[in-house]
Structure 1
Amino acid sequence: MAIRVAVIGTGWITDSFIESAHATQAWKLTAVYSRKAETAQSFAAKHNATQTYTSLDELSQATDVDAVYVASPNSFHYEQAKKVLAGKKHVILEKPTTSTVAEFEELFALAKQQGVFLIEANRHIQECNFKVLQRSLDKLGPIYGASLNYASYSSRYNNVLAGETPNIFNLALSGGSLVDLGVYPIAAAVALFGKPKSQSYHPVIIRTGADGGGLITLAYDQFAVSINASKIYTSAAPSEVYGEKGTLIANAVTDIASVEFLDAKTKKKEQLAGEKAKLNLQEEAAEFARIINERDAAAASKLEEMSRIVIGITTDLRAQNGLVFDVEKN
């Protein structure tokens, strides 16, 4: 039977998740939460949901909901997920999970106490071609380094230039490029290479006080990973992993369509990628449904540890650069 899911947040990412989730036939949207009744009703009608809520307490106690997908502004994640977990609902929590490490640990402890799963929606590491990249690391021999890039100009930066402070560039709402977009290549690095020994960040601080993007370095025992992540400029550079026997070249760190192996000796390229999913959240929706339906605690624990490493990295990088969220001031 399909997992009955509710959503918190009605933006484009929620649209994409529900469309992708329905395509797997493993999920069924049954309820929508919004602070405004008309917003919830509009989203519910669009996706044929039967119930709407303007009360989180009521949603947490709903008997027709098994899981909740949370895609609200970052600073709301902790309180909203906490209420839902207390109602013994599984939670799929959009990146970043929480504003602080303490909030992160509290939520995961609560999920275990309640016997439900809490999963961060790192959709890119579930993509078939990211897994091709992972499996292909053995082709390289000793690894000498990597360059992972995700820099894409955000239309919301136009608002900043016009004197506004949109959510994603607002430290009061736990925003900034690092936690909004930088987490993609950071999570990719952790999924590929594990926890780094240390990390550094050289951000561009914009008018709102948040980071607009910049260069990140993750140091490992024998090599380093450079990351160019930004929401205020665009990079067309691919992502690459360098080794003694060759180089793996991916066109991106998410929505990967091409993974090539460049042989160091012959200089010949071999295409390794398969056909990617038509809907870019479909693979994560399928895997998260599998974890819930099969009660695969081992897989969930592996994802939890990756998320723990990522939030540890981003917290340290923010601290290095004085990027303090409002919740950390209290």
Structure 2
Amino acid sequence: MKLALFGSGMIVSDMLTMIGDVHNVQLEAILGTQHGLPTMQKLAAQYQIPKIYTELSECLADPNVDTVYIGLPNFLHYSYAKQALEAGKNVICEKPFTLNAGQARDLANLAQRKNLILVEAISNQYFNNYQQIQADLPKLGSLKIIDCNYSQYSSRYDAFKHGNIQTAFDPKKGGGALMDLNIYNIHFVVGLLGAPTQVHYFANIDHGIDTSGILLLEYPGLKVVCTGAKDCAAPVRSTIEGDQGDIEVIGPTNTLEKFTEHLRNQDTVTVDKRIHPHRMYQEFAAFTKMIDTHDMAEADRRMAHSLTVMDVVDAALADAQIKLG
């Protein structure tokens, strides 16, 4: 995989700390704005990235680049991914995949027509710990309640309260608690259970954006609560409860460092099957294999999951009467 990085913010900087551990990844370029040029120069020097671009067309014309990683603000995902696909590049796009399901399906259809790999970078779907939870669900018997809470007081919330609306809280730029934090909970649940039968979103809304909210998902015989908050904080944890026991994840659903199983009349078991300390390692190892082998079947399977998540997002935003973009 010959990779160009789109963006030079926190997510790209974080990704760069582990990408050297992923087999068969060659960093070719980094793209950003003139304003971000000093940061890009620093990253390029630190991680031996040979080319820096401030013009998208020039980056996409680079014959040495076969894949782009989009680590830009949410509202730019669709347009940059579309242009990259049209230029014949495989695309790895950060979460949330797009601002709505229509945009996501447009990109998926374009990737199919171009015979290109298009995947959403959503870490929890690739963890060994997550796959073990999937395998262990039957141990819990009939599932009854799932409760996921990812509440984290935003460093930008105080400014927001005083009228300084930055990207993380800007509805025009795809901000808000659902798209930033609760999206991980949605992926966690949908990856286990598929599409829900009903979606309701009860949000605390200020200046047209959800600063926190409770998402209710209904499945036959099962109720799911997903809480995401940027205006308050609480212990971050998730529980899956069945009539034969429960699984508890301490910490956010985007790291899933370990989990415990409490089964009826059995000792508590703690499980940790991580193979790398960085949360992004396993997804990028999977992306590299997918791209190097041109595994369209696997890309399609992953995309089907992302599209289901975007359908849930659409229903949640509509229920709360929130308009993004």
Question: For the superposition of Structure 1 and Structure 2, which TM-score range results when normalised by the shorter chain?
Answer: over 0.9
Partners of 1:237 and 1:103 lie apart in 2 by 31
Partners of 2:98 and 2:33 lie apart in 1 by 20
Aligned to 2:15: 17
| Identity within the alignment, % | 27
* Structure-to-structure mapping, 1:177-326, within 5 angstroms: 177-206=177-206, 208-252=207-251, 253-264=253-264, 266=265, 268-275=267-274, 277-326=276-325
Q: TM-score, normalised by structure 1?
A: 0.93
Deviates more, 1:133-142 or 1:184-193: 133-142
SS state of the match for residue 23, structure 1? Answer: coil
Conserved in 2, the CA contact under 8 Å of 1:91 and 1:118? yes
Aligned to 1:148: 148
Partners of 1:17 and 1:39 lie apart in 2 by 15
Structure 2: tracts of 5 or more residues without a match = none
Runs of 4+ in 1 over 6 A off after TM superposition: none
Deviates more, 1:249-258 or 1:64-73: 249-258
Deviates more, 1:190-199 or 1:18-27: 18-27
Aligned letter for 1:302? R
Q: 1:189: Cα distance to partner?
A: 0.3
The answer to whether the aligner puts 1:65 opposite 2:65 as a matched pair is yes
1:128-177: CA deviation from partner (whole Å, max 9, x where unpaired): 21122111112112211211121111111122123211101101112111
The answer to whether the aligner puts 1:95 opposite 2:101 as a matched pair is no
Partners of 2:51 and 2:242 lie apart in 1 by 53
Q: TM-score, normalised by structure 2?
A: 0.95
Deviates more, 1:295-304 or 1:37-46: 37-46
Partners of 1:290 and 1:10 lie apart in 2 by 25
Conserved in 2, the CA contact under 8 Å of 1:257 and 1:276? no
Aligned to 2:129: 129
Partners of 1:163 and 1:39 lie apart in 2 by 28
Residues 317 and 29 (structure 1 numbering): CA distance in 2 closer, same or farther, change over 3 Å? same
Residues 260 and 39 (structure 1 numbering): CA distance in 2 closer, same or farther, change over 3 Å? closer
SS state of the match for residue 224, structure 2? Answer: strand
SS state of the match for residue 88, structure 2? Answer: coil
Aligned letter for 2:55? S
Partners of 1:9 and 1:33 lie apart in 2 by 6
Q: 1:209: Cα distance to partner?
A: 2.0
Conserved in 2, the CA contact under 8 Å of 1:261 and 1:270? yes
Conserved in 2, the CA contact under 8 Å of 1:60 and 1:85? no
Conserved in 2, the CA contact under 8 Å of 1:17 and 1:285? no
* Structure-to-structure mapping, 1:2-81, within 5 angstroms: 3-36=1-34, 37-81=37-81
Aligned letter for 2:20? H
Partners of 1:65 and 1:116 lie apart in 2 by 13
Q: 1:296: Cα distance to partner?
A: 1.9
Conserved in 2, the CA contact under 8 Å of 1:20 and 1:285? no
